[in-house]
Amino acid sequence: MTHNLGVDVGGTFTDVIVFDEDTNELTIDKVLSTPENPSNGVVEGIESAVAKAGTSVADLNLLFHGTTVVTNMLLEETGARVGLLTTAGHENVLHLARAWTPGPLYGWMGMEKPAPLADLVDTRGVGGRIGSPDGEETTPLDEEAVRTAVRELQDAGVESLTVALLNSYLNPAHERRVRDIVAEEAPDLPVSISAEIVPEYGEYERTLTTVINDYARPQVIRYLDDLESSLADAGSSATMNVVRSDGGLMSSKAATQRPVELALSGPSGGVVGAATIAQKKGIPDVLTLDMGGTSTDVSLVEAGKPGTTRQTKVGYREFKSRAVDVNTVGAGGGSIARVQLSGSLQVGPESAGADPGPACYGLGGEAPTVTDANVVLGRIPPSVQLGGRMELDREAARDAVQSIADDRGTSIEEAAQAILDIVNENMYSALRVVSVERGYDPREFGLVAFGGAGPMHANALVDVMDAYPLVVPPGPGVMSAFGFLTSDVQNEFSETYLRTDEDVSGDEVRDEFLSIRDEAADWLASEGVEESDHAFDYFADCRYYRQDIQMSIPVDVENLRDDGGLAEIKDDFEARHDRQFGFSLDAPLEIANLRVVGKGAIQGVELEEQELGDADASEAITGHYDVYFDGEYHETPIYDRSLSTPGNEISGPAIVVDADSTVVVQPDHVARVDRYGSLEITRGESQ
Amino acid sequence: MSNETPEFVGDHDVDPTTLDIIESTLENTRFEMDRVLETTAISPVIREQSDQFPLIADRHGRMVMGQFGSAIDTIIEHSPFDWDDLEEGDVIATNDPYSCAGAVSHTPDMLLLRPIFYDGDRVGFGSQWGNLMDVGGKTPGSMPVQATTVFEEGIRLPPVKLYKAGELDEELLATFAHNTRLPEHAEADIKALAAGTAVAEERVRELCDRFGKDTYLEGCDAILDRTRDGMIDLINEFIPEGERYTFEDYVDDDGMGNGPIKLHLEIYREGDTVYLDWTGTDQQVPGTVNFLLNEKMFKMFTGVFLIMAFDPLLTFNDGYYDLFEVTLPEGTVVQPEYPAALGNRLPMMARQFDVLQATFSKLIDQFSVAGSYGTSPNLVYAGVDSEGNQFQMLEILYGGIPARPGGDGLDGHSWWPLFRTVPAEYQEAYYPLSIDEYSTRADTGGPGEFRGGHGITKVFTFEEDGAITFQDDRAHTYPWGVDGGSHGERSEKKLIRTDGTEEALPSKVENEPVSAGDKLVFRTAGGGGLGDPLDRDPAVVATEVRRGLVSEAAARERYGVVLDDGSVDVGATADERETLRDAREDLSEFDYGPLPDDETLAEEIAAERRTFDMR
């Protein structure tokens, strides 16, 4: 029992990392995913990776599993048939949504609004009312109507059931009673109640989030059951941890209860891994850039901690679930460039995907993509096989990019450079949303770049943003799987509070926090975390009375005692409000929600530190190639990253070829291999 | 007669990629301005309903990026200061429609305008406006139904410097806020608007840092120019030259018994120029539904329609203004004379959009859109609760989106972009009322191959004595159907008093007293249908019957779809459709619904108001 394993199931590839606890060695493997039967691909990937690492499935200690199963289910609408019970008179809550249509004027003419995930056919209203804001029952629950509805829905063939009643965030008594009735009438039907999934006001978002939970549940239950039994058959007795959207872990049992928490499971791993690596290097504040084939995820890490958000969006649907605050933009290697009617050049969000993919894949794609532009400029030298398998069709790439050059009346190199400049700009905009817009100056941050395409673009990007150093971790193509290994068991517990500093004292707020902490402690215990390993973070979501801001203020509960009161919270809130928006108000502080994040540390991986050696990296040079930088071709050395050693310095321009990604070092920059095998790129020249 | 070609037309010495970057940065800035305002504002109309409009203009005040077109030159013209008097850190504020030629079209809309400087030179403007909760005047919310002058609609700031060289004029702000019913809201929301304009300043300056001031300024010209080029292509491709097309439609009434109120539009093209003429539109009315239509804003609406219909990725801005020639006759309901009341201009604004899209539907081959639910209905409920605290709720409601090319209209959605419903749980937590029902009004969207969206029913139970003021329309006229599609159904309002008596209410009501326990049933109109309902896919009709969105009777009578235990009876449906086809008259291009003649309709409207006033 000496190996831990991280596995990241994506739409195309399943990435696996094996960590040997005795030697601190990491083994990376990549196999094709099997979307038609996801657990098969995972088991094959695990078996292949442990074989490569020279161990066996039976030798695995901890398993860390991230998956896009839920994300894909939402995007492709392949989840379960969900029944929905609402308060009578509010059955159309999902159908009417929030009336939103996109901008600008006339945006409604082209709007596509998918049907609710719980069909109106399977939605029933039931009598009974909880009053607001006191949370007292004003009309008793119509239990007969509930029984009838449950029976009807079960007969109709629903596979799971959501209960979402008005004002349940104030008092969940009716929802709980409905759940008891469902247990009597339809004991095998999975059921979720909204007050437990999102105990916050806002009936549309709470209902939607809970419906998503039930939409995903039957498949997630089946999937995790299959996976665990397949692994058991293969001889494994490893503990399975499933990665949540907020980068924390939960048991597979907890995952089957709350699959909505897995909606952004994949992207969170990369951010957590990047944060760990940067922290270890002594750069606690970094931006992260994860650029793949169709999109780029960016986020901000402050003091080693990834930012989190409560607003999660998958396709049209915006719901409430705690997630790493990742901003996604449709900019990837497969993003298609086209010239608009007005003459402006647009890159993405449309993507050539994996099939046919960029023109240079030679699979019949003709549209010019970002990858084709990189090929034209020589940034992907002939020695590279994209996706590890195909020879590049450089002629096809040139033909595709030539069409843009013709439209714009420029040389092919200028057209290719324009495509890169625009796609970089799109990523820059996304990075600004998570930094500048939130009051952070990117110049005070470093940038960690990963994903298949991230290291190719990041140097040009940091040059514009001045966010140095740029760090390219080892294995940038499997960063998420690596990140899983660095995660902790984690879950968040919250309640709507809606009280102002004029209504309550610090002691009262502290008591409330402690009662939520008890709930979190119970959960950690049920996840098998020893009490001595429990840790808790407290947050108050604050705003000026009636604002919609909900700034999450970290709270030291001990300072709420006695005279301390709420002053510390208010001061912190006002400072943040002023930094971000440039003004403060003479208004009461409203605490909208109290949150407690309960954590239990798990040791999944140890980063090994190596001695720094010689700066001379010439041993790693495998050849030279003409690469286009700053308006002209440069004879540029090509390095093999696997031949480089800690301490090596590589002066730009240079191309560093890795197994799963290519690193571009711009002119006037230098890349150093650090003690952990990361490339650290800064402006300047080698010593 | 045609407009002069603007000076920004021509060659631009700016690298095309730099230009694209400037354009995309400005576009992102626009959305960032909204996000800042939405998160910091207190008014639920701004934060939950996104009733706000940001723009970034060039140094001459022309909108380069934004939503509504710029009236900056008009504002400066109406102010006591000149272009040269603008200083770094100034922020101009106005909520007076008559001081900006209707750029804000009623008094609750507060507009903030910040000149942006770089190295001492003016390089542009950032502007943002939003709907304040209250600016004083006759009724809570400052949108009285029965007012005849703008003086009854609250305090008006002419264009003044609210910030002078970065210094907030606290006394001015306090004076303004003091004249409103919700001074803390007003103050906070105005500061939030200012924070939004500061975002524009910061981002424009960063662009100047990055590319140089001259390149930025040249870039603004080039962005205007290439939008203009794109618009010339759209005009030439889609608008036929030579023929003149007209359309007429009506706003029900002005809330004082006057109506129906006619809008008349004629559109034709000569060369690159499109002429839009409102001659034939009715004279202004005594009540508050007059709409001071800003000429540039209307050019913007027209251009945006063409862009959204045919090339949604084209940036829209003030670049194409010289391509549209607009006639807005003085003294009509779309160009009322000072001091006409303007508070409830939304029915007129919405109808103006209906008429514009109808005229284009006639004009453009293979492209039609039906009529809408007719306004942005709003409701104010205000009073003093049993504990002596004042309360004032303002809510915008939604109805049926018109059927559109290739798709059904959405049920109970907003034709105005980015608006959102206020959650019932928010309303119940902060105001003394409960929401008993919020549902789709089945069968109210006009049948068609693509059906119109349905209206909604919202039922409020008031828990404290108070008064309600609301505005809706399409209670007498119908949202029209197009190309064989049928009209949508009309709006309705009623009060159910605690003793069970029911009172039907007109669509526009001011300060109607309500008692704790009274219920208001607020029903909005559907949208019109598009295309022959007998061509609608029977399987879709059957699904909608199962979902409760279309009744089984309507499926049979309007769509000719016969159901057998919920599924389509294919044979019976074919027979039923043939029977219906044989029995009906030829389908008309527009279906206005069973309207009486104008005189009878005018008498009905007057009688309704008389009866209501005399209760």
Contacts of B210 (CB under 8 A, 6+ apart): A464
Two tokens at B126?
Answer: 């950032």
Same domain? For A431 and A536 the reply is no
Q: State the best of A96, A413, A428 to mutate against chain B, taking most chain B CBs within 10 Å.
A: A96
- A100 chain-B contacts, CB cut-off 8 A: 413-414, 418-420
Two tokens at A616?
Answer: 């001379």
Per-10-residue mean pLDDT, chain B, length 615: 80 88 88 79 68 88 86 91 96 96 92 96 95 93 94 97 96 97 91 91 94 96 94 92 93 96 96 96 97 92 90 86 96 97 95 94 88 95 94 94 93 92 92 97 98 98 97 97 97 97 97 97 98 97 98 97 96 97 92 95 97 92
Same domain? For A499 and A577 the reply is yes
Q: What is the mean pLDDT of chain A?
A: 90
User: Cα–Cα distances in Å, from B480 out to B537, B544, B577?
Assistant: 22, 22, 23
Quick check: is A495 in a domain? yes
Same domain? For A585 and A629 the reply is no
Same domain? For A176 and A99 the reply is yes
**Where a domain ends, among A212, A241, A271?**
A212
CA distance B266 to chain A (A): 21
> A668 lies in which domain range?
618-683
Task: Give the strand pairing for A160-164 and B390-396.
Answer: unpaired
The closest of A329, A426, A420 to A380, measured between CA atoms, is A420
Q: For residue B480, which amino acid is it?
A: W
Rounded distance between C-alpha atoms, residue B596 and residue A634, angstroms: 80
Conformation bin of residue B220: beta by default, left when phi > 0, alpha when psi is -120 to 50: alpha
Residue B432 near residue B392 (C-beta atoms within 8 A): no
Of B47, B184, B412, the CB nearest to A96: B412
The pLDDT value recorded for residue A1 is: 52
Same domain? For A593 and A627 the reply is no
| Cα dihedral A160/A162/A163/A168 (nearest 10) | 150
Spans of chain A below 50 pLDDT: none
Same domain? For A297 and A187 the reply is no
B424·A119 Cβ contact <8 A = no
The pLDDT value recorded for residue B1 is: 44
Residue B311 near residue A341 (C-beta atoms within 8 A): yes
Quick check: is A641 in a domain? yes
Of A97, A132, A408, the CB nearest to B16: A408
User: Cα–Cα distances in Å, from A228 out to A29, A217, A252, A260, B324?
Assistant: 21, 16, 9, 20, 67
**Where a domain ends, among A188, A212, A236?**
A212
B417·A102 Cβ contact <8 A = yes
Two tokens at B585?
Answer: 């008259």
- A113 chain-B contacts, CB cut-off 8 A: 410, 413
| Cα dihedral B428/B429/B430/B435 (nearest 10) | 0
CB atoms within 10 A of CB B449: 20
Same domain? For A348 and A440 the reply is yes
Same domain? For A116 and A196 the reply is yes
The pLDDT value recorded for residue A385 is: 66
Q: Which three-class secondary structure string do you get for A237-250?
A: CCEEEEECCCCCEE
The arrangement of strands across the sheet holding A621-629 comes to: A621-629, A632-640, A654-657, A662-665
- A120 chain-B contacts, CB cut-off 8 A: 546-549
**Where a domain ends, among A212, A232, A259?**
A212
A113·B20 Cβ contact <8 A = no
Quick check: is A292 in a domain? yes
Can you give the pTM of this predicted structure?
0.90
- Overall domain count for chain A: 4
Same domain? For A354 and A425 the reply is yes
A341·B423 Cβ contact <8 A = no
Same domain? For A580 and A637 the reply is no
Quick check: is A275 in a domain? no
Helix, strand, coil percentages in chain A from 3-state DSSP, rounded to 5: 35, 30, 35
The pLDDT value recorded for residue A548 is: 63
CA A355 to centroid of chain Cα atoms: 24
Domain ranges for chain B: 16-231, 368-532
Same domain? For A429 and A292 the reply is yes
Taking only the tens place, the pLDDT of each residue in A576-627 is: 888 777 677 778 899 988 989 898 887 778 888 899 999 999 999 999 999 9
Same domain? For A519 and A594 the reply is yes
The pLDDT value recorded for residue A687 is: 53
CATH, residue A505: 3.30.1490
Rounded distance between C-alpha atoms, residue A390 and residue A405, angstroms: 26
Strand, coil or helix: B19 = helix
CATH, residue A293: 3.30.420
Q: State the best of A93, A106, A413 to mutate against chain B, taking most chain B CBs within 10 Å.
A: A106
Of A408, A410, A548, the CB nearest to B38: A548
The closest of A425, A413, A421, A460 to A627, measured between CA atoms, is A413
